[in-house]
Amino acid sequence: MSTDTRGGLLDGVSLTNTRLRTIALYVGLYGTAALFLIPYWYMFATSFMTRELVYSETPYLIPWEVTTYWYQYLIDNSLIGMWTVNTLILAGITTLFVIVVDAMIAYSLTRLEWPGRRVIFGVIVASFMVPGIINLVPVYIIASELGLVNSVWGVVLPSAANPLGVFMLVQFFKDIPEELEEAARLDGFSRLRVFSHIVLPLMRSPLAALGLFIFIWTWNSFVWPLLIFQRETMYTLPIGLVTLQDNLGVTEPGVIMTSAVIASVPLLLVFLVMQKQLVQAVEMQGTTK
């Protein structure tokens, strides 16, 4: 009596060409993702390494001795805590302000009849062709004349009417059926109430996606905040980390890696929280006719 031991766990598994292609696709995607993650993991791991491991000739992806020395070093020798709070406040205010202003502009361009709105929209689209650096000097002069230097509003106000945000929201507003607004107005809703109670809730995902873009852009801004904020206590993280690396981090890789972790982790957390809304915004735009 003979026993056939062939097969085993693979009994019933058919590796068709389609399945093989799917497996190869996933292997390629996960492999590429791992390659992108290696530098970030090394940055994170280095921030917890001892000085001996940091300066070792052999790179370590997993430190066998963990320390929080570099974080304590930054806290004791810099204003990084204050810079982080400044950046959070600035990014939060700018994001909220841009969402409100851009939503009102986009709504007026798509739903209200007023002379010159097509021209205004054309100017907004054409502004994409103008490099932002060209406006740097005239906008700074205006901000200085208005007394906005060393003020949060000096950074927030020039970003309020964001052309990208207006253009993006206009496309979404066009996809909202006008019949919903007409029905609301028949029920006695004012234009402002229609905007706040009907339109904005339907635009939750696009507004969240725009907010994510604006938050990240503001968090990483360097040149304009550097011009407006002229006191060290008002610096944002990008400005503070540059001055920090000039003063402390030239010969200290641990300082550079730790400061990079502090600057990038909040953005990662925000993205993880908002990624569902971002995906829904993309799906919403892709499925509307």
Tell me the average pLDDT across 7-28: 69
User: Taking the CB of residue 4, how many other CB atoms lie within 10 A of it?
Assistant: 5
Helix, strand or coil, per DSSP, at residue 74: helix
Rounded-to-10 torsion of CA 61, 68, 81, 245? -60
Amino acid 233: pLDDT: 87
Please answer whether residues 166 and 110 qualify as being in contact, where contact means their C-beta atoms are separated by less than 8 angstroms: no
Mean pLDDT score of the chain, rounded to an integer? 82
Mean pLDDT of 120-128: 84
Tell me the per-residue pLDDT of 98-114, one tens digit each, with 9 for 90 and over.
999 999 988 888 888 88
Residues of the chain with CATH 1.10.3720.10: 79-287
What's the one-letter identity of residue 178?
E
For residue 2, the model assigns a pLDDT of 46
Q: Is the pLDDT of residue 250 over 70?
A: no
Contact status, residue 94 vs residue 214, Cβ threshold 8 Å: yes
Task: Report yes or no on whether pTM surpasses 0.85.
Answer: no
Asked if 251 and 229 count as a contact pair (C-beta separation under 8 A), the reply is: no
Task: Give 198-245 pLDDT, tens digit per residue.
Answer: 888 888 888 888 888 899 999 999 989 999 998 888 899 988 888 876
Q: How far apart are CA 271 and CA 261, in angstroms?
A: 15
Could you give the residue ranges of the DSSP H alpha helices within 60-131? 69-77, 80-111, 117-126
Q: Could you please state the CATH topology (level 3) that the domain comprising 79-287 is classified under.
A: MetI-like fold (1.10.3720)
Select the more confidently predicted residue: 214 or 162.
214
Give the pLDDT mean for 182-186.
Answer: 83
Spatial CB neighbours of 237, under 8 Å, sequence gap ≥ 6:
80, 83, 84, 86, 87, 219, 262, 263
